[in-house]
Amino acid sequence: MMEVSSALLAELTARQAEYLAFVAGRVPTPADAEDLLQASLLRARDRLHTLRDPSSLRAWFYRLLRRAIADYHARRAQNEQRLDQLALEVETQTPEETASCACSLGLLAGLRPEYRSMLEQVDLEDRSLADVAAALGITKNNATVRLHRARQALRDALAEHCNTTSVRECQDCGCEP
C-alpha cells in the first residue's frame, strides 16, 4: 500500500506544472496559486487512501483542486465583506470617538509612523480615505484597516495615559499630554 501511495504521489508531483497552470488561471496571484497547489498536494498525500481507483488519480486531484479554489474564493469574499463592514464603521466614527481629548495630539507622536500619518491625514487634515490610500499606494481596504488600527492604538494610548476611554470624561481632561 505504501509503494502505491508513493507512486501516486510521484505521479502527482510530476504534473505540478500542469496543476499550477490550472490553479493560476483561477486565482489572482501566482503566490496564491502556488500556495493552493502545495496545500492541495499535502491534502492529497493525506487522503490518497480514499482513492478507490488509481487510474482516476488525475480526475480525483482536479476535484480536490476545484474544492480548494472554491474554498479560497469563499474565504476571500468573506474577508472582503468584513473589510467593507470595517470601512463603514471607520467612516461613520466621529472625530470625538476617535480621539477625544487634547492629550491625543501629544500622544500621536508616540504612535507608529504609519498610524500617525494616517490619523493626521484623515482625522486632522480631513482628507478622504480613498485619497490617502492612493497617495500611499495602498488599497482603500488596506487604508481602512490601517486607520482602524491607528485609532485603536490612539485609544489604547489615551486609556493608558488618561486612565479613561470615556468620551465625556476625556473632553474635560485635566491631565498633561
pLDDT band at 167, cuts 50/70/90? very low
Cell, residue 148: 482602524
Contacts of 86 (CB under 8 A, 6+ apart): 144, 145, 148
| CB-based contact 140:133 (threshold 8 Å) | yes
What is the domain extent for residue 124? 95-171
Q: How many structural domains compose the chain?
A: 2
6 has pLDDT over 60: yes
pLDDT of 96 above 60: no
Domain annotation covers residue 27? yes
Shared domain check, 80 and 11: yes
Task: State whether 124 and 154 are in the same domain.
Answer: yes
Q: Decide if pLDDT at 99 tops 60.
A: no
Question: What average pLDDT does range 70-98 have in this prediction?
Answer: 74
- Give dist(CA 108, CA 61) in Å, integer: 53
Determine whether 132 is exposed, middle or buried from the number of CB atoms within 10 Å of its CB (0-12, 13-18, 19+). buried
Same-domain status, 115 and 67: no
pLDDT at 97: 52
Q: Single out the residue in 86, 115, 144 at which a domain terminates.
A: 86
- The C-alpha cell of 36 is what? 493552493
Cα–Cα distance, 101 to 142 (Å, whole number): 27
The residue ranking higher by pLDDT, 92 or 143, is: 143
Do 67 and 103 sit in the same domain of this protein?
A: no
Q: Which among 38, 64, 86 is the end of a domain?
A: 86
Region 57-65: mean pLDDT is 96
Mean pLDDT of 78-100: 66
pTM confidence score:
0.51
Q: Are residues 69 and 111 in the same domain?
A: no
